Chain A
Amino acid sequence: MLTARRRVMAAAAAVVSTTLLLASCGDSDSGSSDGKTLKLWHYESPDSAMAVAWNAAIKEFEKTHPGVKVKFEEKGFEQIQKTAPMVLNSNDAPDLMEYNKGNATAGHLSQQGLLTDLSTEVTKHGWDKKLSAGVRTTSQYDAKGVMGSGKWFGIPNYAEYTMVFYNKDLFKKYDIAEPKTFDELTAAMDTFVDKGVTPLANAGAEYVAQQYLYQLALSKADRAWVDSYELYKGEPDFHDAAWTYGAETFADWVKKGYISKKSTSTKAEDAGLSFMQGKSPILFSGSWWYGRFAAENKFDWGTFLWPDSNMTLGSGGNLWVVPKGAKNKELAYDFIDITMSKKIQNMLGNKGGVPVAADPAAITDPRAKGLIANFNTLSERDGLAFYPDWPAPGFYDVLVSETQKLITGSAKPDAYLDAVKAAYDKGVQDR
């Protein structure tokens, strides 16, 4: 009897455990389809201009859509970057999501049929009229997932570009004027090196280093060069004058001490902190730092565009995309429309973001005015040259790794360009 009871107990335990196990393997959330919930994901840090503006947009949305709740989930950039294809292919897809722009990301997803074609909504709401040509490049993708033409798969409501951030107090301390030309910039860096200061904040383990090199190449490039590299309109020559100048000058700058040889393993955050702590007088990076510097820098600082260069890294900002499997697409379109409104755009501009449809008169912060003015200058001369890692999936890691070798001196510029070409060719062929 005892054994029989034990068997029954054991069987019951097994059934319960198995049921629990199977339950745990099941769908956690099959998504909302009630027309009363907008499931929204984005990965902007809470204190960034974008997050501040979008929080205001959420409030506005809930005000204008009584009875509809916004279910916001904060994600990490890496988290969305790495898992987006799988999430969007599942029932857990949100209704609206912020996603990285470019061929290797949004283009790739659009090609796989995971994103909703927004073309009709774009015309209906007039979003296309609010976006300049350079900004809208990253919104449209052709059947092969190449940006610049085709259907609309995303809407950016801010833009971004790179600039030289400089510490005015340190420049004053060493009696150096704000550089207006490239020669003045290098002369300023020579002075800093003479004084024992490494002028450029760098991050070899992340995007900063490759962006220095790409900017150097861009200073010798034109739109056709960028289109050839980024949009596959022609075959890029990695040993042409621009690429060779970029790689050789970068290696030379390491030798000259403009860039620390010890920056191989540093991350973007380290470079930002180095600038914010007044250790490095110059950081060349993107407008995404602007709000943080405005809030935290304890010294006088300013910005200027890379001198003697028509082109710089930049594009429309990350995109609002509507997953193919979104349950409440109409709500998602309404939310995008609110983020494109003057009210939200002006707020974004005043918080240190680069709005795409703000009223210039409504931007009151003097630094923000300068930031937007520089962007307008770039836009007018068609100077947004995107980012070097966009052409192929996984190319970012290749550029990090190869640029690290250039910093340590374990690869010469020629070898660097060979390696980048090989990875580019393979990546573009596989995409």
Chain B
Amino acid sequence: MTVTVEQGGRGSGGRGDKGRKGGGSGGVVEARHHSRSPRRPRDSYALFLLPGALAFFVIVVVPFLMNTGVSFTEWQGVGSPKWTGLANYRELMDDAEFWASFRHSLFMVVAMAVVPTALGLVLAAALFDYVGKHFGGRTAAVLRACFYLPQVLPIAVAGIVWSWILAPENGSLNELLKAVGLGGLQQDWLGDPDLALYSVMGVMVWVQLGFPLVIFMAGLQRVDPQLYEAAELDGAGWWRRFWHVTLPQIRPEIYVVLLWCTIAALKVFGAVYVLTKGGPGGATDVPSYFSFTTFFEKTQVGYGAAISTVLTVIVLVLAVVGLKLQTRAEDAEQGVVR
């Protein structure tokens, strides 16, 4: 009985239990229900969650509720707020600047989630499958670290360095183009409203690429090599092995990366603040920066709170939908019925 209970405890993630309940392993479930075993660790572990839960409540839930409350008022940050109901939200619906900033967010999703995930997949597979095999694991590890380096750099530092690189006069990129005879391609990368958003996107691809790469390489470690060997024996080339073995095997990692990066893209602030401050002429404004300037520069705290509330809700909805889809896909793979 002891052994049975221990196993039950370890498997208490929820999904396995439910599966077993449906499967009729009544003995196990029975034992767990009837035995309030003093050795069951879950109760004591729950206490360890208390500080975290309290911190979450104090640092996330309470400010969010306060922010939501403020969003129903007209307030300058000090003095008495004036209750205006849904006025801020109605104004938001008609605010062209807000919607423009939201469109820019979608571009950032491409730069911070879609492109890094796609590129990260190919690079991870190449490093793992080709570089690792032909040049050794150490070379692959060094290259992986190089790609990951931008993730370690504070965004303020990376942003300032990139603003030097992209500077219109004497910027390294323009100087490089001139040096190789491509002076005609020189641009005001961050100052031209037609280019600035793409320049920021380029920087964000560079910043973000290391994260999916590292996750995918870790995921590839757990893929059974026999699958590759079998595919190779069947005559599958690198691309077919990537498509039919690598991709399906690391699908959970892809879900996680896409979700994580999409949320990061919707919240992006630091890079925009350091590189362009939303300019030129609002060409790179994003909701979080828009909220920041409304809140602190214009001191329209109620309106700024409404922007950040809408942004939070959108991020939350996306996160929940993403997690549901991921769980459903994983369940489908494992044949779990809910």
| Residues of chain A having any CB pair with chain B under 8 Å | 2-4, 6-7, 10-11, 13-14, 17-18, 20-21, 25, 82, 85-86, 88-89, 108-109, 112-114, 204-205, 260-266, 270, 274, 279, 393-394, 396-397, 400-402, 404-405, 407-408, 410-411, 427, 430
Contact = CB atoms under 8 A, between A and B. Distances in A.
A404 B282 CA distance: 9
A412 to B, nearest CB: 13
A109 B76 CA distance: 10
22 contacts: A7-B43, A11-B47, A13-B48, A18-B51, A21-B54, A112-B78, A113-B78, A114-B78, A205-B276, A205-B279, A205-B280, A262-B169, A265-B190, A393-B76, A394-B298, A396-B297, A397-B293, A397-B297, A402-B281, A405-B280, A407-B191, A408-B193
B51 A17 contact: yes
Given A17-B51, A21-B55, A112-B79, A205 B277 contact: yes
B180 to A, nearest CB: 20
B44 A394 contact: no
Interface in B74-127: 76-79
Contacts of B189: 265
Interface of B is mostly: loop
B278 interface: yes
A408 B282 CA distance: 13
User: 6 tightest A-B contacts by CB?
Assistant: A394-B298, A264-B191, A265-B191, A262-B168, A17-B51, A404-B280
Contacts of B168: 260, 262-266
A401 B191 contact: no
A75 B190 CA distance: 29
Nearest to A3: B38
B297 A7 contact: no
Contacts of B54: 18, 21
A410 B77 contact: no
A10 B188 contact: no
A298 B269 CA distance: 39
Contact of B196 (A88, A265, A393, A430): A265
B44 A3 contact: yes
Nearest to B52: A17
Given A114-B78, A404-B280, A264 B47 contact: no
Interface residues of B, number: 42
Nearest to A1: B38
Contact of A411 (B77, B278, B281): B281
B135 interface: no
A410 B281 contact: yes
B191 A14 contact: no
A264 B191 CA distance: 5
Contacts of A114: 78
Contacts of A402: 281
Given A265-B167, A265-B190, 8 more contacts: A3-B44, A7-B44, A14-B51, A85-B299, A205-B277, A264-B191, A264-B279, A394-B297
A132 B193 CA distance: 44
A18 B278 CA distance: 40
A401 B44 contact: no
A393 B299 contact: yes
A6 B297 CA distance: 52
A383 B21 CA distance: 85
A18 B55 CA distance: 8
A90 B271 CA distance: 31
B279 A401 contact: yes
Contacts of A394: 293-294, 297-300
Contacts of B191: 204-205, 262-266, 404, 407-408
B279 A21 contact: no
A393 B300 CA distance: 9
A262 B188 contact: yes
B238 interface: no
A17 B299 CA distance: 36
Contacts of B277: 205, 397, 400
A302 B196 CA distance: 37
Given A25-B58, A261-B188, A264-B191, A82 B296 contact: yes
A112 B167 CA distance: 41
A82 to B, nearest CB: 4
A264 B188 contact: yes
B265 to A, nearest CB: 22
Nearest to A279: B169
Contacts of A263: 168, 191
Contacts of B296: 82
Nearest to B77: A85
A421 to B, nearest CB: 16
Interface in B33-56: 38-39, 41, 43-45, 47-48, 50-51, 54-55
